Amino acid sequence: MSYRRTRTIFIKELLHITRDSRSLALALAMPVMMLLLYGYALSLDVDHIPSLIYDQDGTIVSRTLIRQFQGSRYFDIRGFTNDYAAIERGIDKSRILIGIVIPRNFGKDIAAGRGSSVQLLVDGSDSNTSSIAMGYAENVVEAYSAQIQIQGRGLARALPPVDARMRVWYNSSLQSRNYVVPGLIAVILMILAGQLTSLTIAREWEMGTMEQILSTPLRPAEMVIGKMLAYFVVGLADSIIALVVGVFVFSVPFRGSILLLAVSTCLFLFCVLFWGIYISCGARTQVQAYQLGMLSTFLPGFLMSGFVFAIDTMPKVLQVLSVVVPARYFVSILKALFLKGVGLGVIGDQFVFLTLFAGVVFWRAVRRLKRQKVV
């Protein structure tokens, strides 16, 4: 392999990128736009749940329970009602998510020590949010019940023998932004890097210059590496922009090693850029290359990388397919470096896979390009 020929392809492709100033500006601005859009719009936090209360008891005891809900940051009490119909209309029109019904004789039953129940009417059309809302409501009721036991029976008898206290590691504030943004960086880089290189060789075919390139002494490996390095510069700039936005705009804590972050980012870019070139080697039009690139980067990146949906909960077939999705491993690396601050001993397996994936895809792209040159 000739260093001079590889450098020539690199410079040629880099000049092509810089001459198209609009496309270059869009490629550099895209990470910021996507991070701001998805980072603020995509939130897994469930708080300020719109709620409506139907108090059938109207006693001091029931009003004390209502104040517990009003004092919780997870509930936004939109008002009170005197019938079930208002709760039903509110849920049907998506004005509220949960209706809280306190039954008659609630105060008398509590005073008599018989206990009572609180009815929760939840909109189940969004199963994930409704499950979380029910859990928050049950916690409020259980905390209120514990206070009643302490007041009625004395502190010594009311407290359980074991007091479980929770301590959250790595994301103590439980902000979904700290979880979403690192994964979002990996998905954005996969989409952008794959799309950038998926058009490069297909464009040569459309412009009619591919036949001339194939007739030169240029080797397929030199062409693949030269084109990849040109877009690697753009991808590296995108990576730096995305990481700066994640840390300084979204205030995601970074606790890991800068060196490990740099090496893992370069490995991931190699994987995705070589994959884009591999796709481009098999496409004769830019439209076809764009469609194949989007299908093989966007959907796996979002759905099969563990970015939003846990891989362990997916069907077995999708779990097996996710093994060959490089974004899955880069998402794990970024979350480990940002939030946990772990070292190579923990994320070494992900490094090995990214290295093997980059090598295999590079080899396949060279073989495909070599067959075209022979033909």
Tell me the per-residue pLDDT of 204-251, one tens digit each, with 9 for 90 and over.
888 877 777 777 788 888 888 998 999 999 999 999 999 999 899 888
Q: Give the pLDDT of residue 151.
A: 67
Q: Which residues contact 4 (CB under 8 A, 6 or more apart)?
A: none
Of the pLDDT bands very low, low, confident and very high (cuts 50, 70, 90), residue 329 is: very high
Domain map of the chain by residue range? 3-43+175-374, 49-158
In angstroms, the Cα distances linking 37 to 33, 97, 176, 188 are 6, 25, 15, 12
Q: Give the pLDDT of residue 143.
A: 84
Q: Give the pLDDT of residue 257.
A: 92
Q: What is the mean pLDDT of residues 272-280?
A: 91
The yes-or-no verdict on residue 202 having pLDDT over 50 is yes
Instruction: Give the lowest-confidence range in 83-92, 159-168, 254-263.
Output: 159-168
Question: What is the enclosing helix (H) or strand (E) of 52?
Answer: strand 49-55
Which CATH number does the domain 49-158 belong to among 3.40.1010.10, 3.40.50.300, 3.40.50.880, 3.40.1710.10? 3.40.1710.10
Tell me the per-residue pLDDT of 343-354, one tens digit each, with 9 for 90 and over.
888 899 999 999
Contact 75, 48 (CB under 8 A): yes
Q: Give the pLDDT of residue 55.
A: 93
Q: Which residues contact 240 (CB under 8 A, 6 or more apart)?
A: none
> What does 175-244 look like in DSSP terms, one character per residue?
-HHHHHHHHHHHHHHHHHHHHHHHTHHHHHHHHT-HHHHHTSS--HHHHHHHHHHHHHHHHHHHHHHHHH
Q: What is the mean pLDDT of residues 308-330?
A: 88
Contact 9, 226 (CB under 8 A): yes
Of the pLDDT bands very low, low, confident and very high (cuts 50, 70, 90), residue 159 is: very low
**pLDDT, the chain, mean:** 85
Beta bridge partner(s), residue 100: 53, 120
Q: Give the pLDDT of residue 166.
A: 58
Contact 297, 194 (CB under 8 A): yes
Q: Give the pLDDT of residue 155.
A: 43
- How many CB atoms are closer than 10 A to CB 251? 11
**Residue scoring higher pLDDT (270 or 211):** 270
The yes-or-no verdict on residue 362 having pLDDT over 90 is yes
Contact 361, 275 (CB under 8 A): yes
Q: Give the pLDDT of residue 168.
A: 67
Find, among 364, 366, 375, 367, the residue nearest to 6 by Cα.
Answer: 366
Q: Give the pLDDT of residue 356.
A: 95
Q: Model-level pTM? A: 0.78
The yes-or-no verdict on residue 161 having pLDDT over 60 is no
Residue 102 φ/ψ, nearest 5 degrees: -100, 120
